[in-house]
Structure formats: structure tokens, C-alpha cells
Amino acid sequence: MITQKKKDALNGRFESMQKWTIGKKLMASFLVIAGITLIVGSVGYYGARMSDQAMEEVGMVRLPSVASLLDIEQEAERIRGTMRSLAIP
């Protein structure tokens, strides 16, 4: 619940803001937009760094294991072919 004292304090702040010149209002607006841009840019940079680390993990850790599985599959197919050749009378 907002008390009368808080209402008076808020009204005083808004009255002082109404007395601002156009230059102060534009500067405040610019600073708010610059702050928002900085926050969004920081979040984007953080996301890009995390993506880079994830891609590095895929390239260094996961991709070699996939290549090894492909080699195993090729060798298994070769062994199957040899076994079939030996089974022919």
C-alpha cells in the first residue's frame, strides 16, 4: 500500500522532471537507449562466446568419435563381405 508520504515524494520527482529542458530530456533518453543497447550487446557477445565454445567442443571432441564410428562401420562391412566370401562353397 502506498502511503501519502511516498505519493508526495513521487509527485515531487515527476514535477522536477517536468521542469527539465528539452536538452536534458534528450540526453536522458539517449542514455537510456545507450544502456539498453549495451545490455543487449553484452548478452549477444556472451551468447556468441558460448556458441564458439560449443562449436569447438563439437569439432575437437565429438567429431573425431563420429569419424571413428564411420571407420568401424566400413571395417565391419568389409569383414561381413569376407565372411560371405568364405561361406561360398
pLDDT of residue 63: 79
Q: What would the grid cell of residue 33 be?
A: 537507449
pLDDT of residue 1: 60
**3-state DSSP helix/strand/coil percent for the chain, to nearest 5?**
90, 0, 10
Phi-psi region of 87 (alpha: psi -120 to 50; beta: other; left: phi over 0): alpha
Q: What would the grid cell of residue 63 be?
A: 567429431
Q: Kindly report the pTM of this predicted structure.
A: 0.53
pLDDT of residue 12: 66
Type of residue numbered 80: R
pLDDT of residue 11: 66
- Each of the 89 residues of the chain gets a pLDDT tens digit; together they read 667 777 666 666 667 777 889 999 999 999 999 999 999 999 999 999 999 888 888 888 877 888 888 899 999 999 998 888 888 77
First to last CA, the chain: 95
